[in-house]
A and B are shown apart, each in its own frame.
Chain A
Amino acid sequence: MSTADAWRVLREATQARVGLGRAGDALPTAEILRLDAAHALARDAVHAPLDVEALVTDLRGATGLDVVRVASEAGDRTEYLQRPDLGRRLADGAELTAGEWDLAVVVADGLSARAVQAHAAGLLAALLARLEGWAVAPPVVATQARVALGDDVGSRLGAALVLVLIGERPGMSAPDSLGAYLTWGPRRGRADAERNCVSNVRPPHGLSYERAADVLAALLTESRRRQLSGVGLKDTGEALPPAD
């Protein structure tokens, strides 16, 4: 097998940048330029705004539920990047009414509006299909939002659990990766260790909607049964499907 063929086999096994070649003890010019271009695109993805109208339409279509819009206390992208505390707090004026909800769902722009735009509706549709009998509150679209904003939203809605679907930090090879964080008993001040996370939802390269929904549905069911989330809720349960 030739050298080129051998590297092709490895490259097909992963998105990681294997076998880039060498210029002495450095990378060749063509690869340096490819890396620069990927960095430039990821930088631009961080600063692109969420198209809220389009997302609301997609979520309505995917779930058949009404959709509520809220914002964090961070006024714009620059403030959002430097003040995570503001991105965790719900701005005044949010129209959220408490109810008897098993689950609240927050769809948040996070650090990649592109991820949310591409994957949130598809994942949510797959998940709701697995949650028969659950009382799910109208999905909430949140802008300039961090994961912990879900605590404010969940507690205002009176929900037992909150699930936050959020755009993850763009990588050079993954500018559109969605993360999902679930928290039992949402209230301001919950620690990261009290949450469970499924990350890299990004078909076709990352997790598929179906696979992510299987894991999330099992985690949500276990969380509700045991009335906890986080480190105490390892995804060990027999209820979980086997890994791919």
Chain B
Amino acid sequence: MSWTATVGGHSYRFTDLRDLLAKASPARSGDVLAGCAAGSAAERVAARTALADLPLAHFLDEAVVAYEDDDVTRLIVDTHDADAFAPVRSLTVGGFRDWLLSWEADTAALTALAPGLTPEMVAAVSKTCRVADLVAIAAKTRVVTGFRTTLGLPGRLATRLQPNHPTDDPVGITASIVDGLLHGSGDAVVGINPATDRPSTVRGLLELLDDARQRLDAPIQSCVLTHVTTTLELLEQGAPVDLVFQSVAGTQAANRGFGVTLEQLRDAREAALALGRGTVGNQVTYFETGQGSALSADAHHGVGGPVDQQTLEARAYAVCRAFDPLLVNTVVGFIGPEYLYDGKQILRAGLEDHVCGKLLGVPMGVDVCYTNHAEADADDMDTLLTMLAAAGCSFVICVPGGDDVMLAYQSLSFTDVLGVRAVLGLRPAPEFEAWLASVGLLDDAGRVPPLDPGALPALTTGMGA
């Protein structure tokens, strides 16, 4: 099927659904690189106009990546819940935007709708939204998950404490954990990106984190973000694994590029579930995604040509959703300027990813971040963080001073989150908040006071601090 729309006296034609979605997508460098972006601002608005008139039900009839070729498409189609979809079945994409913004579309309605939505539908509607819409819609969606803390509750903003170290040095990692905890960080997860995938090193880090948790007697879940096959191997050896991690993307070919299959994710999740290590919940998976990951693996091809990176990113959330995750985050500015060129593109992408994940029922967080080869700076991150916090983002990622010395990029600092929590009246996850208060890391007004490392003797005594 093809569509035409006229803007400024010129008629534009879009050859298929993939082409229409790509041309309607807000401008970004990755779609130019892939060769699927609109050729002009007018063509982009024409595509958006045609897209707004498209019935939502059409997405059930036309795939952007072929069903026969791709297990992500099969997952989306085979698990679609027609009953949940019924309330919006008769709407167009533009009508769906209006409905999402209506008073009728409250939290309960959006929660019930999630299994009836496909990634392509939510990607499409996001393309017709301004950033204020992306915030307003996300703020109404709620995805609550739990393991040792409860995440995604209203009025809360959690953090992943990311204590990375270039050589996985246990003392260096512990120093960053201490700094983070003293800033009230770590309620989503304490998660290390290891410098090496070597199983013995990963196991050592898992034991370090589990030992710290027990010494602190704190409601913390931990994760070492290594390849799922390594985690599965360590699970079989009896290592203390709270969460199974994997980077995933929106096509089977891109997941193959990550060296992962849906079957492996299923096996690893079942192995972690069997340990029963959660207390307030037992959601045991953690996924990271990001626009451009399929393109960077040359795995972005769909029916008739390249698929735009934002649509593919939304498809990654369908993969996440199938494994009942505790945590999902887009690493939005990490991938580089060839996919998201500058602060404006990163801001928009972070808000799109957040709302698309939430609408699909995924507990969405964001790594608010940028690299030194992108046209972005800390001001852009402040803006994105503030908008995400207003949008009810489940969690963000923090590293000491915002400078990740292992992965060589900038995320948020612990103080960035203290600041936005103060401005918007947000609090940490309830179990973690209670623990912080019980050990004197939170004052009577709910603020995190400036304390020295001696306030955490369970971790610092052995360091001579």
Instruction: Name A residues whose Cβ lies closer than 8 Å to a Cβ of B.
Output: 1, 3, 5-7, 9-11, 13-22, 24-27, 31, 35-36, 38-39, 42-43, 45-46, 81-85, 111, 168-174, 177, 189, 191-193, 198-200, 202, 205-207, 230-231, 234-236, 240, 243-244
Please determine whether A6 and B196 come into contact, CB atoms closer than 8 angstroms: no
Of A13, A17, A36, A169, the residue contacting B172 (CB under 8 A) is A13
**Given A1-B465, A189-B298, A193-B256, 9 extra CB contacts under 8 A:** A9-B463, A13-B169, A17-B403, A18-B176, A26-B415, A46-B372, A174-B408, A193-B259, A234-B197
Report chain A residues within 8 Å CB of B84: none
Which of the segments B2-10, B145-153, B160-168, B274-282 contacts the partner chain? B160-168
Report chain B residues within 8 Å CB of A244: 167, 169
Report chain A residues within 8 Å CB of B178: 10, 18
- A6-B454, A171-B407, A205-B166 as given contacts; A193 in contact with B258, CB under 8 Å: yes
Q: Which residue of A lies closest to B254 (CB)?
A: A191
Which of the segments B346-354, B384-392, B394-402 contacts the partner chain? B394-402
Please determine whether A18 and B373 come into contact, CB atoms closer than 8 angstroms: no
Q: Which residue of A lies closest to B165 (CB)?
A: A14
Instruction: Name B residues whose Cβ lies closer than 8 Å to a Cβ of A.
Output: 29, 33, 163-169, 171-176, 178-179, 195-201, 204, 227, 229-230, 256-259, 296-298, 336-338, 341, 371-373, 377-378, 399-410, 413, 415, 418-419, 421-422, 447-448, 450, 452-454, 460, 463-465
What is the CA–CA distance of A240 and B165 in the complex, to the nearest angstrom?
A: 21
Report chain B residues within 8 Å CB of A43: 372
- A193-B257, A234-B199 as given contacts; A174 in contact with B166, CB under 8 Å: yes
Of B197, B198, B227, the residue contacting A243 (CB under 8 A) is B198
Report chain A residues within 8 Å CB of B371: 169
Report chain B residues within 8 Å CB of A42: 372
- A16-B405, A230-B259, A243-B168 as given contacts; A9 in contact with B464, CB under 8 Å: yes
Report chain B residues within 8 Å CB of A240: 198
Of B174, B198, B464, the residue contacting A234 (CB under 8 A) is B198
Please determine whether B172 and A14 come into contact, CB atoms closer than 8 angstroms: yes
Report chain A residues within 8 Å CB of B197: 234-235
Please determine whether A85 and B460 come into contact, CB atoms closer than 8 angstroms: no
Please determine whether A25 and B227 come into contact, CB atoms closer than 8 angstroms: no
Of A3, A13, A171, the residue contacting B175 (CB under 8 A) is A13
What is the CA–CA distance of A19 and B175 in the complex, to the nearest angstrom?
A: 9
- A13-B171, A42-B372, A111-B373 as given contacts; A236 in contact with B199, CB under 8 Å: yes
Please determine whether A10 and B175 come into contact, CB atoms closer than 8 angstroms: yes
What is the CA–CA distance of A82 and B172 in the complex, to the nearest angstrom?
A: 35
12 pairs, CB–CB < 8 Å, chain A vs chain B: A6-B452, A14-B405, A15-B172, A16-B176, A18-B400, A18-B401, A25-B422, A46-B372, A82-B29, A191-B297, A206-B166, A243-B196
Please determine whether B415 and A35 come into contact, CB atoms closer than 8 angstroms: no
Report chain B residues within 8 Å CB of A25: 415, 418-419, 421-422, 447-448
Please determine whether A14 and B337 come into contact, CB atoms closer than 8 angstroms: no
Of A35, A81, A169, A243, the residue contacting B338 (CB under 8 A) is A81
Report chain A residues within 8 Å CB of B172: 13-16
Of A7, A192, A200, A206, the residue contacting B453 (CB under 8 A) is A7
Please determine whether A16 and B257 come into contact, CB atoms closer than 8 angstroms: no
Please determine whether B450 and A22 come into contact, CB atoms closer than 8 angstroms: yes
- A173-B405, A230-B259 as given contacts; A14 in contact with B176, CB under 8 Å: yes
Report chain B residues within 8 Å CB of A199: 195
Please determine whether B195 and A200 come into contact, CB atoms closer than 8 angstroms: yes
Report chain B residues within 8 Å CB of A173: 403, 405
What is the CA–CA distance of A29 and B119 in the complex, to the nearest angstrom?
A: 44
Q: Give, as a whole number of angstroms, the nearest-CB distance from A23 to chain B.
A: 9
Of A3, A21, A85, A171, the residue contacting B408 (CB under 8 A) is A171
Of A18, A38, A46, A172, the residue contacting B179 (CB under 8 A) is A18
Of A31, A172, A189, A193, the residue contacting B410 (CB under 8 A) is A172
Please determine whether B166 and A169 come into contact, CB atoms closer than 8 angstroms: no
What is the CA–CA distance of A11 and B163 in the complex, to the nearest angstrom?
A: 13
| Candidate in A6, A16, A193 with the most chain B CB atoms within 10 angstroms | A16
Report chain A residues within 8 Å CB of B408: 168-171, 174, 177
Please determine whether A7 and B452 come into contact, CB atoms closer than 8 angstroms: yes
Please determine whether B166 and A200 come into contact, CB atoms closer than 8 angstroms: yes
Please determine whether A171 and B409 come into contact, CB atoms closer than 8 angstroms: yes
Of B171, B173, B400, B465, the residue contacting A20 (CB under 8 A) is B400
Q: Which residue of B lies closest to A9 (CB)?
A: B465
Report chain A residues within 8 Å CB of B169: 13-14, 244
What is the CA–CA distance of A202 and B165 in the complex, to the nearest angstrom?
A: 13
> 8 tightest A-B contacts by CB?
A17-B401, A171-B408, A193-B259, A14-B172, A231-B259, A3-B452, A18-B179, A42-B372
Q: Give, as a whole number of angstroms, the nearest-CB distance from A76 to chain B.
A: 14
Please determine whether B230 and A234 come into contact, CB atoms closer than 8 angstroms: yes
Report chain B residues within 8 Å CB of A35: 378, 401-403
What is the CA–CA distance of A84 and B172 in the complex, to the nearest angstrom?
A: 34
- A25-B419, A171-B403 as given contacts; A83 in contact with B176, CB under 8 Å: no
Please determine whether B338 and A27 come into contact, CB atoms closer than 8 angstroms: no
Please determine whether B415 and A192 come into contact, CB atoms closer than 8 angstroms: no
Report chain A residues within 8 Å CB of B174: 13
Please determine whether A192 and B297 come into contact, CB atoms closer than 8 angstroms: yes
What is the CA–CA distance of A18 and B165 in the complex, to the nearest angstrom?
A: 12
Report chain A residues within 8 Å CB of B401: 16-18, 20, 27, 31, 35
Please determine whether B400 and A191 come into contact, CB atoms closer than 8 angstroms: no
